[in-house]
Amino acid sequence: MSFIVAVMLLTVTTAVACALPGTFLVLRGQSMLVDGLSHAVLPGIVIGAIISGSAHSPLMTIIATLCGLVVVIGADKLKRTGLLTGDANQGVIFPALFALGVLLLSTSLAGVHICANTVLVGDLNLMALETEHLVWAGLDFGPRMMWVLIGVVALNAAFMVVTYRVLQSATFDRDFAKVSGMPVKIVDITFMILVALTVVTAFNVAGAILVIALMVVPAATAVLFSRSLISVIVNSLVIAVVSGLTGFLVAWYADVPTTPMMAFVDGFIFCAVMVAEVFYRKAIRAGRSRGAEEKSAEMSQFLAVTRDTAKKIDVGDLRA
């Protein structure tokens, strides 16, 4: 498999893997949870890499996912104590864990290669080059990381299909979902596990910073013009794929980093859609206003004609 094809496939799988859970994070108002998770999993990634001796081992993924999940649950418990207000728990815990991960990265990983730049913004091209390719019967089926991400996409998609009704109810009316006896708590925990798993698997490609954009921006863009939950999901996937491929092609010809360009294209599409939506809504309101004015003018004309006709009628003739 050629390098360009490998990078394009890795781009698409990363974009789709991040966009699927990102849809419900945006609709639930939990977008910044991705920011917290991307910071919280770094110590787990480093510790997992130290134990397994590799930055791409399944053990590292499991340890980092569990670390992120434990930290998110712990932060939620801390918030429930009332000792911290608002989202101060995220501001206290997650940056401290990210700093711990950076310290571990700089002091304990002499034998394990994890680039500090990759930690921040990822390196999609490096993943396509360095990770082992899946070869079967003499055929190259692409980087193993791509197949790991395909597995994550399958898990996310299967979870959403199976729990769609509960996710929908819990997203838009959580109290109704609880009263109806839906397993909201179980679904929430499973969803958080999948979000943490997605962040960890996309970490090498997107880094701790840009994974936020890949998860949040496509869904936030789709929400601007979509009219149903299904359309939000589909549109966010389309936007994620288009922005990913566009970002890669622009980065390839401009000789700039791929993942930052993907995030930039995501942001550009969001701004363009937002501006278009603003003008569209203004045009709709203006059209409705003109329609109301025309109806008002027609009614006034009708009443005037009615009054003129009434004046011309001979009252005597009516009595006869």
pLDDT digits (tens, 9 = 90+) for 69-94: 777 777 777 777 777 666 676 677 77
Residue at 197: amino acid letter: L
Residue 246 pLDDT class (50, 70, 90 cuts): very high
pLDDT at 318: 47
> What span, in angstroms and rounded, lies between the C-alpha atoms of 140 and 316?
101
Over residues 19-24, the mean pLDDT reads 91
Please give the residue that has the higher pLDDT: either 237 or 182.
237
Architecture of domain 3-213: Orthogonal Bundle (1.10)
Please name the residue that has the structure tokens 């698409």. Answer: 12
Q: What is the pLDDT of residue 197?
A: 87
Averaged pLDDT score across all residues of the chain: 79
More reliable by pLDDT, 188 or 85? 188
Choose between 265 and 41: higher pLDDT.
265
For residue 29, give every residue at least 6 positions away whose Cβ sits within 8 Å of its Cβ, in sequence order, or none: none
Tell me what the mean pLDDT of segment 11-24 comes to. Answer: 91
Q: For the chain, what percent of residues have pLDDT higher than 70?
A: 76
Residues 6+ apart with CB under 8 A from 204: 55, 56, 118, 122, 123, 127, 145
Confidence of residue 308 (pLDDT cuts 50, 70, 90): low
Residues 167-175 have a mean pLDDT of 86
* The overall pTM is greater than 0.85: no
45: which residues sit within 8 A by CB, 6+ positions away? Answer: 55, 60, 63, 64, 101, 114, 200, 203
